[in-house]
Structure 1
């Protein structure tokens, strides 16, 4: 097991990336990329991890892009009605937790759905209170809208992670 796979390193690393991204925006992007590169370099299965991080990150960013285009989110640095680059990198960093600090939730899909709903929706409220995003429908309505989104999205990301792992193993053994 590489050191970036250890529960506390992975969990605390993601929290540092979240706070840096929310508070510094695009300014944090290069630091996040450097941490992701370090994560891959120190991972025992960097190719599988990269597949999961890229695929899950793109899925998550696509969901946020849809919500932004739909008018749920407005970002201060909005360009072409898409979320800022720091959010894409934040999604990559979050995806680096799916096989590591959040992997225990794979066995508990209902719990993953409930925790994903509450924690996922809450992060947008926190980000809005810190000025990283504006919620067009206010805190409560956005929270209620994001609950079912994250109740479905988080378990789907865990399933995607499993499928990508299985696919990689079956093609490389």
Structure 2
């Protein structure tokens, strides 16, 4: 990985923690950090194009809220920023995911995607009204499909 990719990976980890732990209280700081990405990125135009993918992830999460899988104390505006930050990693620090076979990418999504929500639950950012196991049973297959889809769409949008 390049120096930029390492920096972007570490920055996203901090960004994730700030968004999840700070939620709407730290929205301005989270937005500022997202904006800073665009100051330093070597691919500003491509990064702007892939931000549309955040709507896909946010749509999935909204469906999970409406179906009772997730509950939030208030509307999680920070979640939109988190999705933007995440989709940006697909063309930078997580670009290596493109080399995974579809099956391995699905497995990675199932484990890492679901784990991210469970970590958010542990930090109090999201409630799981259906409980840990039922929620996990729903998140695992969703992320097994969502991550491969996001990786392929990111790759396609960055080529345009």
Category of TM-score, reference length = shorter chain: over 0.9
Equivalent residue, structure 2, for 1:170? none
Give the counterpart of 1:124 among 117, 132, 135. 117
TM-superposed CA distance for 1:28, in Å, is: 2.1
Residue in 1 that maps onto 2:69 = 72
Aligned pairs for 1:22-101 within 5 A: 22-52=20-50, 54-78=51-75, 84-101=76-93
* Root mean square deviation, CA, Å: 1.4
Indicate the residue corresponding to 1:21 in structure 2.
19
State the SS of the aligned residue for 1:121: helix
Q: Which has the higher contact order (CA 8 A, sep 6+)?
A: 2
The unaligned stretches of length 5 or more in structure 1 are 79-83, 168-173
Q: What TM-score does the superposition give when structure 1 sets the normalisation length?
A: 0.86
Gaps of 5+ in 2: none
Q: Does 1:139 align with 2:132?
A: yes
Give the TM-score normalised by structure 2.
0.93
Whole-angstrom CA distance in 2 between matches of 1:51 and 1:30 = 23
- Report deviation, 1:60: 0.6
Runs of 4+ in 1 over 6 A off after TM superposition: none
Aligned length: 158
